[in-house]
Structure formats: C-alpha cells, structure tokens
Homo-oligomer: A and B are copies of this chain.
Amino acid sequence: MSKQPVTIEFSLPEWVNGYCMSYRATSNLSERMQFVIKAAQKNINLKTGGPFAAAIFEEKTGELVSLGVNLVTTQGMSILHAEMVAIAVAQKKLGTYDLGAENVASHELVSSTEPCAMCFGAVPWSGIRTVVTGAMDEDARNIGFDEGPKPDDWIFELASRGIKVIDKVERESAVEVLTEYKCNDGFIYNSRES
C-alpha cells in the first residue's frame, strides 16, 4: 500500500466558473432558483453529471457562495449530489465547516429538486439556515430515482432545528429538466440494480 495518505478529490465542471460569473445578486428567490435550474440543465447538456444542481447564497444579500451540480456518474462517487458538492465548496471557500457559525452570514441552500434522504441529513450538520426547493421528491421518483427514506415530517424536523424550508419555487421549470432528462434516456443511477 502506498505510503502517501489517501487523498480524495473532485472538481466542478469547467463550465461552472464562467456560468457563475453570469449571476447577478438578487433578493428574488425565483431568480436564484432559475439560476440553479439552468445549471442543472447545463449539467445534462454538457454531460457533466445528473439532472440536479444546488447553490448556496448569502441569504440577505443574494451573493452566490457556491454552485454544486450532481457529479455521481462523472466523478465516480455516490456522495456527490449537487447539495453535498455545494456545501463542501462553500465551506472550503469560507474556511469553516459551519455555515451557521457566529461570525458568518446566514446561508441559504437553493436546490433544483427537494433534497434526497442523504442531502436532507446533511443540512443540519452544514449550518445552512434556509432550504429552498424546486421540484419535489415525487418528481424525482417519477423519473425513476429512489430518493431514499426521509421522514414524512422532514420539513418539521428542519424547522425544529431553526432551519426554514421554502418549497415548490419554480417547480414547473425544475420538473422540465427532470422530464427532459428522462425523455432523452438519461441514466438513472440508483445503486444495487443488479
């Protein structure tokens, strides 16, 4: 076995930097969501991963902190859902594993689709204060993804930890991305299908 410590790395697709530069800070949630939904669409169009994107914004100013896209099939790790990528990038950028720390602005996660069970579980650990979602769990399931077992009262569970959820923002546009992916025979990368 190599003497070097094992290092794991993953990278955002090359198009992400340029795309992020097109974003202008906005207080309008629909506009923040449209930015994220278009990123999910680009991720498919440019074949850099699955039909999901998520971004972290400073809640008050709308400044973009990080954009994540689903990288499971393209970077070979099942944990690389868009929300997980966005969280990791934001924390590295800000130099803290707690986006809700005392000296840090409030942060909001905007996700093109409601988080799956893993990403939902990641939210309380991350320090995020608000979660904004587009497509719903059932929309992802309708195209074949097993989103996993979130508790039925997942919104309440986050609320009880002081984390707000605003759902169905631009849901129709978000669902279009999923539907188009499915219609173009996009690969549905659940595991253990064999």
Contacts and interface: CB of A to CB of B under 8 A. Distances in A.
Nearest to A160: B149
A146 B124 CA distance: 9
Contacts of A161: 146, 192
B13 A1 contact: no
Given A149-B154, A151-B149, A78 B87 contact: yes
B97 A76 contact: yes
B92 A78 contact: no
28 contacts: A5-B12, A5-B13, A6-B11, A6-B12, A6-B17, A73-B97, A77-B92, A78-B122, A78-B127, A79-B126, A80-B97, A81-B125, A97-B191, A101-B192, A101-B194, A116-B121, A117-B121, A118-B118, A118-B121, A119-B121, A121-B122, A125-B190, A126-B191, A127-B191, A146-B161, A149-B154, A150-B151, A163-B192
Interface residues of A, number: 70
Contacts of A149: 121, 151, 154, 157
Nearest to A84: B79
B10 A189 contact: no
B192 A100 contact: yes
A162 interface: yes
Interface of A: 1-14, 16-17, 20-21, 72-73, 76-81, 84-85, 87-89, 91-92, 95-102, 116-122, 124-127, 129, 146, 148-152, 154, 157, 161-163, 189-194
Contacts of A120: 117-118, 121
A158 to B, nearest CB: 8
Interface centre among A9, A78, A127, by most chain B C-beta atoms within 10 angstroms, is: A78
Given A78-B125, A78-B126, A151-B150, A72 B97 contact: yes
